Amino acid sequence: MKKLMESINQSYGYRRFKSISQLIEEAFTEFKKTHDIMEKFKHFNVYEDHVTIVDFEKRRFIDVFFRNGKPHCELCNSDSCIHVKFTLRIPKVVEKLREKGYKVEDGEIIYTPP
């Protein structure tokens, strides 16, 4: 178990987790956030300049456009709403962005190419 903790902390580059229970708690929290998001929305289609998703709570289609290197939710008029976070978790979207030099992690763009 000690080797596992050392390996996990080494992958982060610092001592992030002090115990297995702390690691499990954070993993569960992250899983729950991701699972909750994935149940509320569904990926409908990916286009060259936008992604269309279905919001089951609002019972409507929502477009998330990519303009000037940033995602933008048409409904919320935001670049960081829940629809954007969901869109940035769709494997096909993440793959296309990475091909263009973006770095995407956990539903957020970490790096935008110049």
pLDDT in tens, 15-35: 566 777 777 787 777 766 666
Residues 72-113 have pLDDT tens digits of: 999 999 999 999 999 999 999 999 999 999 999 888 898 988
Q: What is the model's pTM?
A: 0.68
d(CA 88, CA 109): 8
d(CA 105, CA 47): 21
d(CA 13, CA 62): 38
